[in-house]
A and B are shown apart, each in its own frame.
Chain A
Amino acid sequence: MNRTLPLVFSSGRPVAFVALLWVLSIGPFAIETADAQFPEKPITLITPFAAGGSSDLTARVFTTYLSQYLGQPMLIKLVPGQAGQKGTLEATQAAPDGYTLVFMDNYRDQLHQYTFRNDYYDTNEDLVAVARINYGQIGIIVRTDGPYSSWDQLETEARENPGQLRLSHSGLWAALFVPAMQIMQNMDLRIRMVPYRGGGPAKAALMAGDVAFSMAFPATIAADIEANLIRVLATAGPERMLEGVPSFVEIGLPPSTGYIHRIIMAPTGVPADRLVILRQAFAQLQTDESYLAAMRRLGENTEYLDGADYEAVRIEQSREYRELVQAIAGQ
């Protein structure tokens, strides 16, 4: 031993010696935990929405802050089209290596399987939840200078004139349309549904007096409420969100009506350890003050839910939406 060590040094190959040490000590460890280094390249987040929508913006916010917890940047790839089907299809066909994720909401995940049938993918079999970023609760809105000051008045009017009252929504089977259908179904009302390209134009139609009422997430109309132009008649959920405004449960709707969940999904088959790393990164994001502040400024909550817990929510949604679509089709 006395002779060998100086030999290695004196032979002028200290580099080789260090390399040998490295291979002996760290090498096996590194090989053993190769997957602990995931992710070793940027992760692509497919967003099946057009540039500039609220989902696009939310995605740009959390991807900006998430990279420091992942150790790699998360890049957004916009794949809009076919009510979100195109982007979803691309995600389901991607390799399940954790490097391709997709940004969705509960309607695209669980409702559209009953309304826009396709032969190419099944979200239940092909996608697994990584995290729920947050959720939004919808509200029923009218103009403050309009004839309705309470939901009861509006409901009476709609019942007396079936199919005459107009409601503006943001597109077929999307965030404003689904709760409106659920209201019609649960209360046996008939409302004339007028489509608009997104929540902004739908709100403009209400303010112009083209429609009697609409739907909106209270955060997006905070300025209009403040200026006393728009009145909220009821908000989703069992509890009241705004002072003096009844909840959906109080006006006779099921507690789950009118929720939109923004979720990150991965193709089924992602290695379990990688899924854990991804889920942990989103959990750590919830402690990031700059992220929380940025979401607050957008008027979004940060009611995060771990992907494993969200899986249970999906099953419940699937049942509820199937019943809704069957009931409408049965009429």
Chain B
Amino acid sequence: MIESLLAGVDVALRVDTFIWISGGLLLGMLMGALPGFTTSMGMSVLVPISFLVGDPLIGIPFLIGVYKGGIYGGSVPAILISMPGTGASIATVFDGHALTKKGKSRKALEMSLFASAISDFLSDIFTLVMIIPVAAIVLGFGPPEIAAVMFLSLVIIAVTATGPVIKGLIMLCLGVWVGFVGADPFSAMARYSFGTSELYDGFHLIPILIGLFALPEIFNAVKEGDMPGARVASFVGERLRLDELKNSLRTIFRSTLIGTGIGVIPGLGQPIAAMMGYIAAKNSSEHPETYGEGELDGVAGAEAANNAVNGPTMVPLLTLGIPGDAVTALLLGAFMMQGLRPGPTLLTSSGDIVFGILIAMVLANILFVAIGYLTIPFFARVVTIKKSLLIPVTIMLAFAGTYLARGNPFDIVTLIGFGLIGIAARQAKFDVAPMVMGFILGRELEYSFGQTLALAGDNWLRFALTERLGMTAVVLATPIIGVLLGRRMSHFRQRALAREAGQAA
């Protein structure tokens, strides 16, 4: 084990490996920054390149670069134009775009970059060191445990949403219900599809994301009716100061822990990690009421958490040969094409190459900072474009990104529909985040709950009390956690109201 680790250092320190990682990172950032072009789509297009290269220490680090760059790249449109290109950047919109509106887009982008790179670095080291002990834990998470974690997450999201708990719950339930539209995952019976073939497959995530987050923002900008020549900001804003980064280090470390834990379990993924990282940052803050109004810590909390997922998803892939999502499934293929067969024998048969790849993955984070830092001035300049030009381009990106995601014209209708819902929700002061998370997690919860019922059979009580104590414990703890968090949040809300009243008087 130690020998193969050292041999891995030897094989990883190659100039061509670093050049290919850099190329992958840059491509990933550009693809991630393009709304509607998800990381898995980008990797799927680029995977044949790794087939043809024929060297595992070039082809696979290249794809890993695309993966890392893509998850970070998604934060760029989220911060600049309130358009989360993937589920992973939902939580980044809250404070990231608020910062842009305050003329601090550069600060937000740099915080996103540093938070992503630091957490990625730490979680990659964790992966490298803990790959063997962690592999044993992974299998302990079956559908019952995932269902319990999903349930807990939904409750946490509902009670911590901005505004009254009841509004959060309404939006959450609405999101879960929207997720039910389409064929049910077990018997393929159509639900709420009204006999149309378009609705039979249910709604797609990307038009919902862009509709709920970006279209209301565009609507507001148009409604304000700016003077000709007005800009979002006249300059890209200040750089991130070192003390600001230091202040957020606690949040970054916390989110790294959350993201790493979620990454180890196959089937949870970046959207839930980013949301939990954000909520944890908000909840442990001295002034949670300022979150959502342009808090750098909020960007750090979300972005550190979603990038921390990347490294640990390699654990089930490499040690058990089990891909947790589409991205790791593509990596599985890339490994096999290089003659490496992920699974229990991989570390003993080709330990040096695997550790070489993992070490290259750790070192890639240094390149990550460098390349990201160079691209930020270009991205940040977006806000200095005249609004009369920026708004049409944003509208075009919203529609093109939606169509690009899967080439289905019906998604344009979905986009407009959810755009109207988003505008109405903003007028009525409803937070749309619980709705999106309800949509994402509701489907997952339904599926894992259905699997749990299939596993349990007739005698579910015995199943819950003998076979699956972990699940039962989480389910029982959920209402208590929900009530405690809800109380804490309402305390802060009252304080914020009192402060506003004081200011008014």
Contacts and interface: CB of A to CB of B under 8 A. Distances in A.
Nearest to B141: A208
Q: Which of B316, B325, B329, B339 has the most CB of A within 10 A?
A: B329
A163 B454 CA distance: 11
B326 A208 contact: no
A242 interface: no
Contact of B457 (A52, A164, A207): A164
A222 interface: yes
Given A52-B329, A197-B447, A116 B44 contact: no
Contacts of A14: none
A29 interface: no
A63 B41 CA distance: 17
Nearest to B327: A52
A198 B266 CA distance: 12
B333 A200 contact: no
B455 interface: yes
Interface of B is mostly: helix
A120 B196 CA distance: 11
A83 B139 CA distance: 27
What range describes how many residues of A lie at the interface? 35 or more
Contacts of B52: 64
Contact of B326 (A51, A79, A205): A51
Given A51-B330, A196-B451, A204 B139 contact: yes
Interface string A198-241: 10110111011011000000001111101101000000000000
A223 B342 contact: yes
A293 to B, nearest CB: 10
A200 B329 contact: yes
Contacts of B43: 51
B288 interface: no
A305 B337 CA distance: 24
Interface stretch (A33-41, A54-62, A264-272): A54-62
A205 to B, nearest CB: 6
Interface string A283-303: 000000000001001110000
A81 interface: yes
Contacts of B344: 223-224, 227, 229
B346 A223 contact: yes
Given A57-B333, A210-B142, 12 more contacts: A51-B330, A77-B407, A83-B183, A86-B201, A120-B197, A164-B457, A192-B454, A195-B451, A201-B322, A204-B322, A223-B344, A223-B345
Interface of B: 40-41, 43-44, 47-48, 51-52, 138-140, 142-143, 183, 185-188, 197, 200-201, 266-267, 316, 320-323, 325-330, 332-333, 336-339, 341-346, 406-408, 447, 450-451, 454-455, 457
Q: Which 10 A-B pairs have the closest CB atoms?
A: A223-B343, A52-B329, A52-B326, A227-B344, A57-B333, A208-B139, A81-B201, A51-B44, A194-B454, A200-B322
6 contacts: A52-B325, A60-B47, A86-B408, A196-B143, A223-B342, A294-B51
